[in-house]
Structure 1
Amino acid sequence: MNKNRSLSALCLGLALSIPAAADEASRTVNIQRLTLETAREIALGAIDACRKEGIQIGVTVVDRDGVIQVVSRDTIAAPITVEISRQKAFTAANFNAATSQLVSRANTPIGRVQGLVMSAGGLPIQAGGMLLGAVGVSGAPSGETDEACAQAGIDRVQDDLEMAM
């Protein structure tokens, strides 16, 4: 009988010393991020798409936190396109939404927060239901064209991103 009690006590002690899987999982978060190479591909895809339309743009790709990964400005794109594309990408990442969907909020208190641009041309980059980053484009004659070029950049890598998830 003492042998059974000793064995039970040993098993109980071992069980109590091993943290529960649920506790461990709740202490950390695994976050997928774009590689530099993928961010570059997205930027080049956006530039290529706009070049096909005869348009020179600035493009910025940010990570999920809105931190810049890649910035490119085509040869004769206006210098201001760099800052506007950054703000569009930052906004898309922070709202996890296309900036074209935020236009109605532009004249609200949130829309007047410095550093946000709520006009078409910024898109979140998502795969497997997860936000990975965002891309912002500026320089086309319309925000809709900016957005189409941003989408072309994402489309260049979307299948690979989905397969990686």
Structure 2
Amino acid sequence: MPLPRSPLLIACLALCAATSALASERYSVPRMSMELARDLAQQAVDACRSRGYNVSAVVVDRDGNLQVVLRDSRASRFTVELARRKANAVTLAGVSGSEFRRARQDIRPEINSVSELLMLEGAVPIRAGGVLLGALGVSGAPGGDKDEICAADAVTALQDRLEFAD
């Protein structure tokens, strides 16, 4: 016995097919909560304070959107911009600022001329389950290597929260 070919049945089948096609073209992107981003930035500032440095820490999401900014009271206002631009470069490269700089010294002048990017030491990627969530940039210590140590210490300290966040 053939199935009835009502206009309603045909419309439902067409809708189901369209929904299936659209679903295969969508994907979800993991994001950090504001609280986790804030805690990463605070941990970086605290790590540098414990070493005697006054810094700013900036967290950007995987798209380079600003998520959190913390500036220690004695850090220069320029450290915010430097930390943000370092973090943006890390989201582009997917590796720490020092690794990016070492691996791609050949394009450093070009990268540094791009608005919002700065290829310098002092930022690290933020990952969970191998997925890039964003980056943490730090500026204000006497050298980008010291900034980067504070950023890396912060991510390491909160790695369990990153891995097991909902």
TM bucket, shorter chain: 0.7 to 0.9
Q: 1:107 is matched with which residue?
A: 108
Structure 1 residues 106 and 121, CA, compared in 2 at 3 Å: closer, same or farther? farther
- The one-letter amino acid paired with 1:74 is D
Q: 1:150 is matched with which residue?
A: 151
Which shifted more, 87-96 or 34-43?
Answer: 87-96
Could you tell me which runs of 5 or more consecutive residues in structure 2 were left unpaired when the two chains were aligned: none
Alpha-carbon distance between aligned partners in 1 of 2:133 and 2:108, rounded to the nearest angstrom? 28
Q: 1:43 is matched with which residue?
A: 41
Instruction: Tell me the percent identity.
Output: 40
Instruction: Quote the RMSD (CA, aligned, Å).
Output: 2.3
* Superimposed CA distance per residue, residues 87-125 of structure 1 (whole angstroms, 9 cap, x where no aligned partner): 111111122221112221453423432321111111111
Could you tell me which runs of 5 or more consecutive residues in structure 1 were left unpaired when the two chains were aligned: none
- The one-letter amino acid paired with 1:5 is P
Q: 1:75 is matched with which residue?
A: 73
Runs of 4+ with deviation above 6 angstroms? none
- The one-letter amino acid paired with 1:6 is L
Structure 1 residues 75 and 152, CA, compared in 2 at 3 Å: closer, same or farther? same
Name the count of aligned residue pairs: 160
- The one-letter amino acid paired with 2:80 is V
Alpha-carbon distance between aligned partners in 2 of 1:146 and 1:101, rounded to the nearest angstrom? 14
Q: 1:6 is matched with which residue?
A: 3
Q: 2:21 is matched with which residue?
A: 23
Alpha-carbon distance between aligned partners in 1 of 2:55 and 2:107, rounded to the nearest angstrom? 23
- 1:20: how far off? 7.6
2:30 to 29, 32, 43: 32
Structure 1 residues 112 and 159, CA, compared in 2 at 3 Å: closer, same or farther? same
Alpha-carbon distance between aligned partners in 2 of 1:17 and 1:70, rounded to the nearest angstrom? 42
SS in 2 for 1:107: helix
